[in-house]
Structure 1
Amino acid sequence: MDSIPANRRLWNQISSAYQHEHDPRIGATPRLWGMYSIPDAHLHALGDVTGKRVLELGCGAGQWSRALAAEGATVVGLDLSEAQLTAAARAMGAARYPLVQGAAEQLPFAADSFDLVFCDFGGLSWAPPHLAVPQAARVLGRGGRLVFNVASPWFEACYDEAASRVTTTLQRDYFGLNTIAEGDGATSYQLTYGDWVKVLRGAGLIIDDLIEPRPELGTPNGYNETDPPDWAHRWPAELLWVTHKP
């Protein structure tokens, strides 16, 4: 949990610039997943949320939470960064929902509090999965679902730090993926396919689907440069896990 203070500082520092760059894209249309803004209507990961108790892990400026609250879900947005929560409160609009400051690995909620816990990167990219996934499972009711999108390990393994882009050359060991230094002590997290399965099953969750979102040719990546530009059309850039608590 040593990464919590540093990750909080990082997101407080970059929140304004991040939202200025990305909110026009991710806030423009509801339910867009990941780096390529692929609609949930194409991926069918969340389904109908009307009347469901929903927790977003790492809600940022609340683009997802806002949309789901407007659809009739009872939403709670959780984020580590008070700057991100301020952005969410400012953008909330008519669909009001609670905002909570907290860490995905230390959820301040009772067991059986939610029907759906989800994130698009967010909490399961910025908290140790072996701590955060059991916490998500704990706050889910029976039959509740954990749905989350993270970077593919291959995307991380092919990221060239010197060139600041994803390439077709392996840059780091697949089996060496775990923590990724983000500067000034901040840390993001990445697992192999096998380790994700171990963590999810170890938390008592059933894996229903593993969606590998594939953007159409010409779809821009809003966050990273890739070489070639159609990288994610040819290899999986993201993993969208769909699980439930039996």
Structure 2
Amino acid sequence: MDSTPANRRLWNRISSAYQREHDPQIGAAPRLWGMYSTPDAHLHAVGDVTGRRVLELGCGAGQWSRALAAEGATVVGLDLSEAQLAAAGRAMGAARYPLVQGAAEQLPFAADSFDLVFCDFGGLSWAPPRLAVPQAARVLRRGGRLVFNVASPWFEACYDEPADRVTTTLQQDYFGLNTIAEGDGATSFQLTYGDWVRVLRGAGLIIDDLIEPRPDPTTPNGYNRTDPPDWAHHWPAELLWTTHKP
């Protein structure tokens, strides 16, 4: 069942509240990854983007895209939600770049168009990866890179829905995550480690690294409650995949 219309409605509805709550954190400095705002300078996932053509899948208000455009990349920001794109347009400033409304599972770009496709809890969390990853691979040039950050399946499997927090107890079937109901018919997506490997390899991509960011015990999670608070210091909360197209 196509989740695109419901996901678009959800993000149009929550965009303003989401940006009010999270932009002070994710917009505070350039290149911050994930729930713990881990600097890319510590993880070295993106690399030098000067002169590169870059596509962000699920750009939101453009915090990442703005930073990379300011560094000399030719950036295109894609998002499903017109409300999120409007927020990106308002915040664009001097580092201007094109904004495109579209879905990660059906990219409106020609093959071999980009040197880097990336997302941080964007298109590869809110579109079926089995459809979106081949699309990302299609629009990459030879030698181009797909870099993306998603929630760890263990983080999802330990989410206690009634308590609205992540715990140390397995709550859900690891092999049955696949689709996650987000309310109002919206859906996010999750794969096991093995399925991620198979999807990436099936799209013709070479896996270069799997980074599991480990925040300092005192670093807060800006999005979820965890019990204990330093959960992600002990177990992987996120998967940051770096791949390339041979």
TM-score for the superposition, normalised by structure 2: 1.00
Question: Alpha-carbon deviation of 1:70?
Answer: 0.0
Report how far residue 242 of structure 1 moved.
0.1
Shift of residue 167, structure 1, vs aligned partner: 0.1
Q: Distance in 1 between matches of 2:25 and 2:36?
A: 10
Secondary structure at the aligned position of 1:105 is classed as coil
Taking the TM superposition and a 5 Å limit, the aligned residue runs for 1:102-113 are 102-113=102-113
Q: Deviations over 1:193-212 (max 9, x none)?
A: 00000000000000000000
Q: Tell me by how many angstroms 1:181 deviates.
A: 0.3
Q: How many residue pairs end up in the alignment?
A: 246
Instruction: Name the CA distance, whole Å, in 1 between partners of 2:53 and 2:91.
Output: 21
**CA deviation after TM superposition for structure 1 residue 31, in Å:** 0.2
Task: Give the Å deviation of 1:217.
Answer: 1.2
1:30-87 residue CA offsets vs partner (Å, 9 max, x unmatched): 0000000000000000000000000000000000000000000000000000000000
C-alpha distance in 1, partners of 2:31/2:188? 23
**Shift of the alpha carbon at 1:177?**
1.3
Where 1:130 maps in the other structure, the secondary structure is: helix
RMSD between aligned residues: 0.5
Segments of structure 2 that go 5 or more residues without pairing to the other structure are none
* In 2: Cα distance, 1:219 partner to 1:226 partner: 12
1:46 counterpart SS class: coil
Quote how far apart the aligned CAs of 1:154 are. 0.1
Task: Say which SS state the counterpart of residue 85 (structure 1) adopts.
Answer: helix
CA-CA distance at 1:131 after TM superposition: 0.1
CA distance in 1, matches of 2:85, 2:202: 31
- Rounded to whole Å, the distance in 1 between the matches of 2:79 and 2:89 is 12
User: How do residues 101-140 of structure 1 correspond to structure 2 at under 5 angstroms?
Assistant: 101-140=101-140
Once the two structures are TM-superposed, the CA of residue 184 in structure 1 deviates from its matched residue by 1.1
Residue 54 of structure 1 aligns to a residue in which SS? strand
* CA-to-aligned-CA distance 1:100-136 (integer Å, 9 cap, x gap): 0000000000001000000001000000000000000
Displacement of 1:214 in angstroms is 0.4
The Cα of 1:168 is off from its aligned counterpart by 0.3
Within-5 A mapping of 1:48-87? 48-87=48-87
Report the alpha carbon displacement of residue 163 of structure 1 after superposing the two structures with TM.
Answer: 0.3
Q: Secondary structure of 1:20's match?
A: helix
Find the aligned partners of 1:21 and 1:172 in 2 and give their Cα distance.
28
For the residue of structure 1 that corresponds to 2:105, the secondary structure is helix
Residue-by-residue CA offset, 1:18-41 (whole Å, 9 max, x unaligned)? 000000100010000000000000
Alpha-carbon distance in 1 for matches of 2:168, 2:193: 19
Identical amino acids, percent of aligned pairs: 91
1:176 and 1:5 map into 2 onto residues whose CA distance is 24
Structure 2 residue matching 1:141: 3-state secondary structure: strand
CA distance in 1, matches of 2:130, 2:73: 28
* Cα shift at 1:158: 0.1
Question: Where does the alignment leave 5 or more consecutive residues of structure 1 unmatched?
Answer: none
